[in-house]
Structure 1
């Protein structure tokens, strides 16, 4: 494929990933094969909505070398693995989609779709976990690719890798995998807690802080105090935006009265290494938000913060996904948390490096 055409397809794919909700913020990556020697891939830490052809990086399959000052995605190694092992594959998508991520934390070696899907084969292989961007992750994904007959691999506690002969077939694999995982979760998980889900879905969804008065007037006062406090606090020169989340799985978790640890990579990176559950007390809430971007408020849901609306959207999406993953893994009998030391490393790397790349991209 001609390089400029490949770059345009990658940009188009980035827009589709954001529109579809298959990724949050800059998480995930896309590549397109040029020929047997190279491919183009999205850069590291740049917003997909504003990407230009000049920012799409050409990478050599042989040694992952590239030219220029723009750094390619740190996951370029898993893309190369597809191109090396699948000569017919010309497009690769790595996403952190919700349902597949929920299945990824259950400690499965594979799962069998309950319906026929043209891109998935009889079973979807789950690659073993390793830290993102590492040689170990590439090795684990490569091992899974060698086993699968379909065009998708689940990356444990991380996300998925979907691929195909074309842009359309790769996206078809991603959408089919998400639907297959939804069916799997509904059969294996939802029936275990039908009454509880019905109870929390009766709570009014809250998108604006002023709407909380419909739940509890006293809590409205608490949230308004928090908003006032947060407006006076500066984080990297920007005021925090606050939002209250009552997604059913978030409310369900807030009722447990326990803290939530990362089950998926992007939760540790973007939301925090441990999200506390506290009573609706201003001091407790603000204290918890000093080390994370969210806090559960007992029995009501969660308060989430971000520097801008897109960041806040990502925090909420990832928080909901981690809660869904928790209940999926719990129902399947195996809650496979990421190791605390690995969570701390990812969080530190995100705060010190990756988020700065994204901020620079956002302001340019």
Structure 2
């Protein structure tokens, strides 16, 4: 597999994510769109902070078929779903951070609503701290096919933007390219940390 520029950028982003401790113990998975029909997805069981281009597996977006027969991430179906839902999406990042995991359990509703934070403007299209940004929250499921179906049904009724949370699991976010996906990840993680600390302080 020849290395495409976006894959090189994704590898660098994975090393950055690993250095931050956002994908511990081989957790998380990352992908980049190769073209209209295929994406390149991180292989299961690999340390995300030490990934190389050859650790990414070609997956058919429409069917989840892996031409090479190798084993991609367990959450392959979530990545391919996002590429189908958002033809403009060029990269998907899924991390297991403390802030997103804990906040997803503290919040009992169907979304974490962020408002009043200047850093909301790190999210594409957001221009004011006054806007309310709702990050959808889904109950976790080991059946990825069923989980992907629930997310797809939700997206038919309510726009999904930037990312979503899985309860007790972590954040999945995307962007038009690796750079935007990485910015959304960093921005959302900052916002989640602020929101979690705000709730702790207000509960005292």
Is this a same-fold pair by TM over 0.5?
yes
* Between 35-44 and 65-74, the greater mean CA deviation after superposition: 65-74
Q: CA RMSD in A?
A: 2.1
Partner of 1:55: 55
Equivalent-residue separation in structure 2 for 1:33 and 1:137 (angstroms): 21
Mapping for residues 159-308 of structure 1, pairs under 5 Å: 159-193=170-204
Structure with the higher fraction of residues in helix conformation: 1
CA, structure 1 residues 133+55, in 2 after alignment: closer, same or farther (shift >3 Å)?
farther
Contact 1:13/1:30, CA 8 A, preserved across alignment? no
Any conservation in 1 of the 2:15–2:50 contact (CA below 8 Å)? no
What's the offset of the Cα at 1:136? 1.6
Asked if the contact 1:6/1:40 (under 8 Å) is kept, the reply is no
- Greater share of strand: 2
Determine helix, strand or coil for the equivalent of 1:36.
Answer: coil
Cα distance in 1, alignment partners of residues 152 and 101 from structure 2: 19
Q: How many residues align?
A: 192
Task: Give the stretch that moved more between structures: 35-44 or 183-192.
Answer: 183-192
1:158 maps to what in 2?
169
Q: Which TM-score applies when normalising by structure 2?
A: 0.84
- d(CA) in 2 for partners of 1:179 and 1:145? 25
CA distance in 2, matches of 1:42, 1:4: 15
Q: Which runs of 5+ in 2 are unaligned?
A: 127-131
Does structure 2 conserve the Cα–Cα contact (< 8 Å) formed by 1:124 and 1:152?
no
Give the corresponding residue for 1:337: none
User: Where does the alignment leave 5 or more consecutive residues of structure 1 unmatched?
Assistant: 194-364
Contact 2:94/2:170 (CA < 8 Å) preserved in 1? yes
* C-alpha distance in structure 2 between counterparts of 1:49 and 1:182, whole Å: 22
Per-residue deviation, 1:178: 1.4
Which runs of structure 1 show a deviation greater than 3 angstroms over 4 or more consecutive aligned residues?
A: 143-146
Map 1:85-96 onto structure 2 (within 5 A).
85-96=85-96
1:112 aligned to 2:113?
A: yes
CA distance 1:53–1:21, shift in 2 (3 Å): same
Distance in structure 2 (CA, Å) of the matches to 1:144 and 1:96:
23
Change (3 A) 1:162 1:145: farther
The question of whether the paired residues in 2 share the 8 Å contact of 1:26 and 1:46 is answered with yes
- The aligned counterpart of 2:70 is 70
Rg (Cα) greater in structure: 1
Partner of residue 149 from structure 2, selected from 139, 152, 163: 139
Distance 1:79 1:3 in 2: 20
